[in-house]
Amino acid sequence: MKRPASLLDIGQMPKLDETMKTLFDWLVSKELVGEGSTMDLQSEDLKDAALLDGASMAIAQATGRREPSRRKTQKEMKDLKERFKDRSPVGVTQEAVWGAVRDPATSVRALNWQKLPADAMAFYRPFHFRPFDQWGIYLLVGPLLDYHGRLQAFSSDLKLYSPEVLMHLVLFEIFNHEFFHHLAESTATSLEILSAAQGNVQPVYLTYRQAQRSTGFDYPHAPLEEALANAYAHNALSFISRIKAGYKTATIKSYQEAIKQHWHLEPAGYRDAAFYIDSAYVAGGAHLLAQMLGDPGAVNVAPLSCLAKHLMPNGFTALLQKPDIPTYLVGSDQALAAFAALVPAPNEAYTQLFWPFNSQAIDAFVAQKQEEEKAKRKAAPKGSKNARQGELDLSQ
């Protein structure tokens, strides 16, 4: 049987394909990229946050150890689960977890959390700056370990997080903050492609970045992208916690409460994330689109909120998905080894909050307590204080 003609056969295959290589070459040909310098920095030199804006610098590990984090194979995951099947989270009590299931906010209210912005422990290097082989997310393992150590000291009395679980939560939060910067850059790139296709080549991303740095578009929560990145990390945790109540849900919800209560300690923009959590991300995305279009008032002229809800910048905007973004763990051998002991599967941890620890006993305890509550509510006469209390708990 004759094969039907392909687009190639009939001369209709687009000359420009969908690969990142094509995109990068195109960005260069249209002069839409800036230059980043290449520096072979030692990891100890990475502590100065001013160095980490991703535009003025690039990192190449001179040692050749700049290996991107990769997904584990099915076999590796199976072996990992087998190895950890008897390891339950250390220092955690069932009662503390049940307390956090009932009321995650109260469980963390007393924390003396010295919140650091995500960008003090990681950064996103945009592909709008050459050299292209260096774009991606850089997780700075030394600062991550220091921060984790301090959080652990503040939170150990809660009996809620084992050191490993706490590091997974921090890593997930930080990665997802940085991933939002990729969503923002992907959004700007989409606008560049669409306007160039109409004959109007515009350096959307570079212009937007510069304005964000100089005036912040006079937006009350400038830099808005940082507020949205924090909110995105918070919302990504909500997405993971839509599973039945148990240890993971309790730790996620209490951790979310903790970051919400401590955002105010972060720099401008970052600290305003609460304006954009849950469904409020739509309005924030609309403002960001307007800023990228160079006209903050555009939110009142065209329904940019429609785009922000369904198109960009949300999870579908990404030019590369979470597990595939070039992501580098940067640090000394010693720091990397300490980190690996806490997080045996980093890629799975920062994309899905996977951890191999066994929480079956805690989950069973929570399930049993929930059954007891349910039975109590059924037994209590309708409208009584007990019944109302039960409803309150359910709403959390």
State in angstroms the smallest separation of the CB of 180 from Zn ion.
Answer: 7
Q: Does 229 bind Zn ion (CB under 5 A)?
A: yes
CA distance linking residue 125 with residue 129, whole number of Å: 8
State in angstroms the smallest separation of the CB of 187 from Zn ion.
Answer: 15
CB closer to Zn ion, 176 vs 254? 176
State in angstroms the smallest separation of the CB of 145 from Zn ion.
Answer: 20
State in angstroms the smallest separation of the CB of 128 from Zn ion.
Answer: 16
Partners of residue 330 on adjacent β-strands: 140
State in angstroms the smallest separation of the CB of 129 from Zn ion.
Answer: 16
CB closer to Zn ion, 107 vs 230? 230
Q: Between vectors from CA 265 to CA 260 and to CA 270, what angle results, nearest 5°?
A: 70
CB closer to Zn ion, 226 vs 266? 226
Distances (CA, A) of 119 to 49, 269, 279, 299, 320: 8, 12, 24, 28, 20
Number of residues that bind Zn ion (CB under 5 A): 3
Instruction: Locate 256 and state its tokens.
Output: 């979310």
CB closer to Zn ion, 119 vs 266? 119
Q: Does 222 bind Zn ion (CB under 5 A)?
A: no
State in angstroms the smallest separation of the CB of 270 from Zn ion.
Answer: 7
Smallest CA-to-CA distance from 232 within 116, 328, 322 is with 322
CB closer to Zn ion, 226 vs 272? 226
Site string for Zn ion, 98-127 (x = CB under 5 A): ---------------------x--------
Q: How many residues in the chain? A: 396
The residue ranges of DSSP E strands in 46-192, in sequence order, are: 122-125, 129-130, 136-140
Instruction: Answer for the pair 51, 45: CB distance below 8 angstroms, yes or no.
Output: yes
Characterize the bridge pairing of strands 122-125 and 129-130: unpaired
Instruction: Locate 307 and state its tokens.
Output: 């785009």
CB closer to Zn ion, 128 vs 377? 128
Q: Does 257 bind Zn ion (CB under 5 A)?
A: no
Nearest to Zn ion by Cβ — which residue?
A: 119
- Residue for token pair 């990397």: 336
Residues at the contact surface with Zn ion, assessed by CB under 5 A: 119, 226, 229
